[in-house]
Structure 1
Amino acid sequence: MFHLNNAVYQELVRGIVRTTGDGGRRYPTLTINPRPSNIFGHNNIPLGKWWILQLTVRRDGGHGAAIAGIYGAASEGAFSVISSGSSGYFEADEDQGDWLWYAGSHSDDARMTAHSELLVKSHQSRQPVRVIRAKGASSWAPSIGYRYDGLYQVAEYELATRRDGHQYWRFKLVRMPNQESLASIHNRSPTPHERAAYMMYEEIR
């Protein structure tokens, strides 16, 4: 059993305060300016970097969207994606660690949405995409929080069909070579101290 390391905790929640909204519901708010996320590559984020919230991923320049799973610019493509398993098409997604099928943003008539078009642009340009996995996304995801798993490229994309007949776009992301193995990252991140900090955050939020 690890005791809470206060320095670890303070860094994980840096710039985050809890705001009480209508009805007494409390939610996290970022009080400092986030680092720019509109940069290709690692953006000075170490492999295996772990966060408590998507908001703190944004704070550190990992992913520029507070909620959306795909972040990028129309003229350049996607800088990052968060694999969360919450697309609504999880039954057709597949995550094998070094490659995964990633469902594009939702469209009721299988049109290519603006967010999905970012990944098409990345397929054309071959620019790297940061992949962050969220808890529960797959067996490769962290059991809690969010973790940076490295750079991937969009190898291909297709119009897939769900069991109910609904069609949607999905994208195959393949991990780029010469990075620490995903197995190694998965085994060491989050650390026991980060897990203890997460438990504290959950208790007091």
Structure 2
Amino acid sequence: MPGPSSSHIFGEIQGAPVGTHFIDRKELAQAGVHAGNQQGIWGSSEFGAYSIVLNGGYVDDDDMGETLIYTGHGQGRGKDGKERRHPRFDVGPQVGDQEWVRGNAAMRVSAETGRPVRVIRGPEGNEDYSPIEGYRYDGLYKVVRAWQEKGKAGFLMCKFLLQRLPSQRPLPRPNRPAKWWDPRPSELGLSRAPITWPEKRQVMDEEKDAKMREEQQANNQTAPVHHWVPSSSRQQETTSTVPPRNGLLKIRGRYTTFGSK
């Protein structure tokens, strides 16, 4: 099963062909398709970008399907209204110029090296190309150009022109049935195949039931078992009788003289 380390490679990820859907970003990371929990760009400023998520985060984005203009990150307003959010999670309206750092630098390196970048679309992007729900892997793109220009908010933005590489599966459309990523090995044990949403829901329910059974078994093994005892039984338990010794009979913790008539 691909882990987080597999996201540090360029190109396709085994078990996640073009058109594979993912429930959320956590699944993207588990599959190794995109490891950034919040970042739109996942990559290295030294080697280039491995993947990007296109999800309507910036007004300067322009998704045309096979070609797209992608906006870098940085100097965004956080959801809490503060002027600056953590630099890894900049989102919202622009409040400053973007710089050639972190993911922006990685994308510029990709433009120089020509290494392919995985493109994932989310539900908040251009409705003509974006999935209705979840995230979808749409194939490999090449960063043709990287530049800076003033954006719609009046600040300098890092921009990237990407072109989809040829000889791939056709770009999926929103109205096509979704094929969801399956983390389970196939019957052959070689790779994972996409599954439909009903199958995906069944897998999630089975995993949830299995987890509940494991927790229940663990609780049964560690927690003491308490049984309700009726009052009559408790009365009998508190009355202990031992064989008479030295003319005494022990009843309810007290010794009483025992004798025969």
> For the residues of structure 2 that align with 1:41 and 1:33, how far apart are their CA atoms?
15
Q: Is 1:179 aligned to residue 163 of structure 2?
A: no
User: RMSD over aligned Cα, in angstroms?
Assistant: 2.7
Report deviation, 1:42.
0.5
- Whether contact under 8 Å (2:49, 2:106) holds in the other structure is yes
- CA distance change for structure 1 residues 54 and 195 in 2, over 3 Å: closer, same or farther? farther
TM-score, with length taken from structure 2: 0.58
1:134–1:146 CA contact under 8 A, matched in 2: yes
Unaligned runs of 5+ in 1: 1-31
Secondary structure of the 1:111 match is coil
The one of 63, 66, 69 equivalent to 1:98 is 66
- Does residue 62 of structure 1 match 2:33? yes
Q: Give distance in 1, aligned partners of 2:51 and 2:109.
A: 13
1:42 pairs, out of 1, 6, 12, with 12
Aligned partner of 1:75 in structure 2 is 46
Q: Tell me which of 136, 150, 163 is aligned to 2:139.
A: 150
Classify 1:73/1:164 alpha carbon distance in 2 versus 1 (closer, same or farther; 3 Å): closer
User: Residues 177 and 186 (structure 1 numbering): CA distance in 2 closer, same or farther, change over 3 Å?
Assistant: farther
Give the direction of change, closer, same or farther, for the CA distance of 1:190–1:143 in structure 2 (3 Å limit). farther
Deviation string for 1:57-93 (max 9, x for gaps)? 000010121111111122210010011111xx3x221
Aligned AA (2:71): A
Larger Rg: 2
Normalization by structure 1: what TM-score? Answer: 0.72
Distance apart, 1:190 and its partner CA: 4.8
Check the 8 A contact 2:177/2:196 in 1, yes or no.
no
- The answer (yes or no) to whether the contact 2:130–2:174 under 8 Å persists in 1 is no
Q: Which of 194, 197, 201 matches 2:197?
A: 194
| Closer, same or farther: CA 183–58 of 1 in aligned 2, 3 Å | closer
CA contact (8 A) 1:47 1:185 kept: no
Post-superposition Cα deviations, 1:82-139, rounded to whole Å, max 9, x if no partner, equal 11111xx3x2211110011111011323322221000000000000000000112112
Task: Give percent identity, aligned residues only.
Answer: 30
**TM-fit CA distance, 1:186:** 6.3
**Distance (whole Å) between structure 2 residues aligned to residue 48 and residue 185 of structure 1:** 10
SS at the partner of 1:82? Answer: strand
Match among 138, 146, 150 for residue 126 of structure 2: 138
Q: C-alpha separation between the residues in 2 aligned to 1:83 and 1:195?
A: 26
Cα deviation for residue 166 of structure 1 reads 1.7
Task: Report which structure shows greater RCO (CA 8 Å, sep ≥6).
Answer: 1
CA distance in 1 between partners of 2:36 and 2:137 (Å): 15
Q: Which amino acid aligns with 2:119?
A: V
Measured against aligned partners, the alpha-carbon deviations of 1:2-54 in whole angstroms (never above 9, x if no partner) come to xxxxxxxxxxxxxxxxxxxxxxxxxxxxxx95452001110212111100101
**Aligned-pair CA distance for 1:196:** 8.8
The structure with the largest strand share of the pair is 1
